Amino acid sequence: MHKHHSALGLAESLRPVQPVTLLRPHAAARAARFFVEKFQGRSMYAVKANPSPELIQILWDNGITHFDVASIAEVRLVHGVAPQATLCFMHPVKAEEAIAEAYSVYGVRTFSLDSIEELEKIERATQGATDLTLCVRMRVSSEMSKLSLASKFGVELTDAKELLQRTRQVADALGICFHVGSQAMSPSAYVQAMEKVRAAIVSAAVTVDVIDVGGGFPSVYPGMEPPALEAYFGAIHQAFESLPVSYSSELWCEPGRALCAEYASLLVRVERRRGDELYINDGAYGALFDAAHIGWRFPVKLLREPESKAREIGFSFYGPTCDDMDHMAGPFHLPADVQPGDYIEIGMLGAYGCAMRTGFNGFTAGDRVIMDDEPMATLYVRDEEAREAVSSNVIKL
């Protein structure tokens, strides 16, 4: 793939008709190295956030050796890209056939569960294996996170005792895992969750070999500027150290969003303007699912030379399909003189956005190009001056 230096240059030279995905491998590599060096435990990548084989390779090359996979397709995918990687099947409700294939064909030994039924399923599918690491998923609050993961999975504290004791009898190594919800805006989310873990360990009186704090590590978006990731790592490590099992257990985490949000952005074209509504060529069924369905705002930048001097106003976007729901409320702040034919870069779409693209109505992904400039926002260069030094593309949110 050809390397480009700026989205503006790309828009002006190619004038692409379809949306273009702008990939920044150096940003994903930087995020991987940050987790590997600073998280005081093992960081595994939650593949669902962006299953691109190139990204998996970048993360592997930069020290991520463990991958949280949620389906047999993800198991096969990661194995194909990085055969030496350790895969952990962390979906608490799996098909029995998927467990059997993961165990016997791909050597997967780590599975999560949140019910006795799932434990029995794992025992059957692995024919009573004695080399398993089994992680009991506990239900914890999502109240400090922007996206809840508190309803669907996780055993309640009141039912955890029996499940932990039963699982302890089957497992070679016993883990406890949880997920505080995605885009956790405060490190206290993890501290509170660890208190539940402590209560579960005390009541079940079992030895525990793994504490897995899951995903939820934030990225940075307009209106969502979280504390530094070091503050999360520090709070998690301190809470872990205070658990009665810390001397004999490992600490794991499963970041998705934080490892790949900065990896990709999108170059779109304005096809029509109606007042403060812009009809653009990507949307709810493309990479903007979260912008449409949960009102998430992403950084935007008008790519025009000379730069527009108009004051900024808030716009909403319509995507290209015929569906009314293909609408992103925003507001997205852009110069007031945006016109059809203008190009806009929409940032921070490397997590989930790019992974959830469909081909609905015939609007499929356009080209993918590699960029060597900086993403529109970053959590990995905190200091303002250093940020300006690395790039002129990092914008104020």
Ligand X SMILES: Cc1ncc(COP(=O)(O)O)c(C=O)c1O
Residue type, 25: P
Beta carbon of residue 5, minimum distance to ligand X (angstroms, whole number): 29
d(C-alpha 100, C-alpha 94), whole Å: 10
Nearer to ligand X, 68 or 74 (CB): 68
Q: For ligand X, what does the binding mask look like between residues 153 and 192, x meaning CB under 6 A?
A: --------------------------x--x----------
d(C-alpha 150, C-alpha 320), whole Å: 33
Could you identify the residue written with the tokens 């921070």? Answer: 348
Among 11, 90, 270, 354, binds ligand X (CB under 6 A): 90
**How many residues touch ligand X (CB under 6 A)?**
17
Beta carbon of residue 160, minimum distance to ligand X (angstroms, whole number): 17
Choices 4-12, 31-39, 212-220, 297-305; region in contact with ligand X by CB under 6 A: 212-220
Count other C-beta atoms under 10 Å from residue 251's C-beta: 20
Could you identify the residue written with the tokens 């914890």? Answer: 140
Nearer to ligand X, 46 or 394 (CB): 46
Among 255, 286, 319, 330, binds ligand X (CB under 6 A): 255
Beta carbon of residue 256, minimum distance to ligand X (angstroms, whole number): 3
d(C-alpha 241, C-alpha 103), whole Å: 32
Residue 251 makes contact with ligand X by CB under 6 A = no
Torsion angle, CA of 317/319/324/327, rounded to 10 degrees? -40
Q: For ligand X, what does the binding mask look like between residues 264 and 303, x meaning CB under 6 A?
A: ----------------------------------------
Asked if residues 374 and 30 have their Cβ atoms less than 8 Å apart, the reply is: no
The stretches of the chain forming alpha helices (DSSP H) are 7-14, 25-38, 53-61, 72-81, 96-104, 116-125, 157-170, 188-204, 229-241, 257-260, 289-293, 384-390
Residue 322 is a catalytic residue? yes
Q: Among residues 135, 253, 260, 322, which one is catalytic?
A: 322
Among 41, 154, 187, 214, binds ligand X (CB under 6 A): 214
Q: For ligand X, what does the binding mask look like between residues 57 and 76, x meaning CB under 6 A?
A: -----------x--------
Among 215, 330, 350, 353, binds ligand X (CB under 6 A): 215
Residue type, 195: E
Q: Is 313 exposed, middle or buried (0-12, 13-18, 19+ CB in 10 A)?
A: middle
d(C-alpha 103, C-alpha 99), whole Å: 6
Interacting residue ranges for ligand X, rule: CB under 6 A: 46, 48-49, 68, 90, 149, 179, 182, 214-217, 254-258
- The catalytic residues are 322
